[in-house]
Amino acid sequence: MSDTTELSLSTSLDGPVPLPKGFEFAGIHAGIKRSRKDLGLIRCTSRAGANAAGVFTRNPVRAACVDRCAELLPASGVRAVLVNSGNANAMTGAAGVAVNLAMAAAAAAALEAKPEAILTSSTGVIGVPLDPEKIAAAMPSLSAELGEDPRGFARAILTTDTLTKVAHAELQLRDAEGQPQVVRLFGVAKGSGMIHPNMATTLGFVCTDAAVEPELLRELLRDATEPTFNAITVDGDTSTNDTVLALASGEAGVAIESEPDRASFSAALEAVLRSLAEQVARDGEGATRLLEVHVSGAPDAAIAKAIARGCCRSSLFKCSVFAGEVAGWGRLGAAAGQAALEAGFLELDLAAIEIDAQRIPLVRGGAAIGAAGPAGAADEGIDLGELARRLREPTVRWDVRVGEGPGSFTALGCDFSYDYVRINADEALQVTVNAQGQVGRNVTLASYTPILKHQLLVDGLSYVRRFTGLRAMVHLSGSAARKPMLLASVARDLELMLSAELRVLVVVPDLEVLAGLRRDFADGAYHLAQVPHDPERIGARLDRGQACVLVQTRPDPGELVALAVRLGVAKLLSLADDQGLRDTGGLVSELTPDQALVGLDRGRFSTEADENLAFARHAARQGLGALHLIDGRMPHALVAELFTEQGIGTLITRQIR
């Protein structure tokens, strides 16, 4: 019997996570990758094991783990899910099938279970042999790590992702005696590229302590997947390993049987999957914005879905979303027409098309409002400045009406940025497998394509020379300091700065972040020297070419700016969890100190990172040459700012350009 308690949903891993009863998690580095966690385990601790169901890629080119799980599920008595990252074990022939079976056998032996009670999943590079001995050797350590903290598992399944993706929900249902009980769901996913689902996408795992029969669990999972994971597309490519698994331990003492309970549980499952799907789409390779396209007025839901996903898949439209400044309604209209054609909706009438961007009407009757283009729209009262501001927001929604039918669907995607091509073209050439079978990347110049190599050599080297001998201060806070993958990208950026012979002082919030940076520097030629807050000693070390680190538990922006001024720092770069400073027109890219002070005094600027305002005020008042406020949530933001003419974020500079 359902209770009226409202569903509670969260995506945070900060503090204690309310996990469903009957599950443990672990994640370690097993040597599949050269570094980083690459082997994860979910174990069901209930006596009878978990009921389980799954949805899988419909791509006929499938990995062995997908075929095996599809054959086993739905089922009862599932004891664990073993997941490796870094190697997809796909298109590896009979050897890949044998390796997948060996994975299940190794986990079964460690957990004292039958191999058929172990589900397996893999993700990573396609076509590279996977060494089962690494997994077998790692199982004792992996089993020993099992516990109620899911963070290790969430990190172990990542590949090109920039962050972990989790969602957990609680609802209250009544047990057989009519007593209220808390039912919990916990979902974790990975995914960044090769995302265009057909019954599933990337990897996703949902655990619940409700009791759900396997066949019902499969039905509920399929229904919840359709408007969530099957609504997203990043690049139009369906992976070989796409899998979403659901496991139910029954430890909450609540059986999902009645229609009210089924409806409540189904809503919670869909909410968890929707949150994970949005996180996957938002973290698309090189993405800067989450894209939502809602189609209505179609003859049925299937055609609405085809049109919405076709719009999110359109490369031209996705590029216009990245540009942000331009309302790409023309590209969206063309994409909608193409998708309608492919879906067999030949009756689509141009005169019926209506398009809104961020709730602002742009197209009615198949034509731009007011005139043949956006310029004429101003006559109808559309604020083009406000439109441009909204199109630069982190989430951009477009609404397309194609007729008067009952069908509607909302698809999720992301923009196409310069980084998408870089990640999927040049970095694809960098994948290497060493003699030990470990997957890694060769990031030397020799691994790049000839065109990019030429561009780097001719344009890049002459540009970099201007930085030789200059002093820079880098302040880390928020995600750039706390998320391992982002901290690693900061380390790589710092190495490049040092290679260009900049004199760098890094300010970190604690010794843990310093240790993380040092680990990421371990394979390089540079050493990070911790220094006291003493300008003379810091300056002497910088002059000797040493990379210096200052640990400031509660950094005072005024003191850091004063230190930068005393050191003669050319630029202070502050990485925080915001793009920079915004006003009513959106992100402010550049300010003089006077403009910054006047705007701050008048309350013109807003930011989600409070330190940005303090840094801006002190930099303007104390005479700092340049301050750049950068979004530290974007990988390699430091180099993107420093080694490009235009840069990113908000620059406060005394230089006339």
State the SS3 of 476-496: ECCHHHHCHHHHHHHHHHHHH
Alpha carbon distance, N-terminus to C-terminus of the chain = 68
Q: Count of CB atoms within 10 A of residue 195's CB?
A: 27
3-state secondary structure of 398: strand
Buried b (16+ CB within 10 A) or exposed e, 231-242: bbbbbbebbbbb
Nearest alpha-carbon partner for 470 in 564, 549, 561? 564
Annotation says 395 is catalytic:
no
CA atoms within 13 A on the CB side of 128: 23
The Cα–Cα gap between 174 and 185 comes to 16
Query: In this structure, what token pair is assigned to residue 142?
Result: 């992996």
Q: d(Cα 106, Cα 117) in Å, to the nearest integer? A: 12
CA proximity to 637, closest of 580, 563, 560, 583: 580
Query: Residue 350 corresponds to which amino acid?
Result: L
Backbone angles phi, psi at 548, to 5 degrees: -110, 145
Alpha-carbon Rg for the chain, nearest whole angstrom, is 26
Helix (H, G, I), strand (E, B) or coil at 589: coil
Angle between helices 511-520 and 484-499 (to 10 degrees): 60
DSSP letter string, 227-240 = TTGGGB-SSS---S
CA dist., res. 469 & res. 460, Å (int): 17
Binding site listing for substrate: 159, 190, 201, 285, 424
Q: Phi first, then psi: give them for residue 266, nearest 5 degrees.
A: -60, -40
Given the residues 57, 123, 201, 243, select the one marked as catalytic. Answer: 201
As a whole number of angstroms, the distance between CA 169 and CA 357 comes to 31
Structure tokens at 198: 């057909």
Q: Which of 619, 641, 643, 615 is nearest to 630 (CA)?
A: 641
Cβ contacts of 280 within 8 Å, gap of 6 or more = 165, 189, 190, 191, 192, 195, 201, 202, 229, 232, 234
Task: Give the active site residues.
Answer: 201
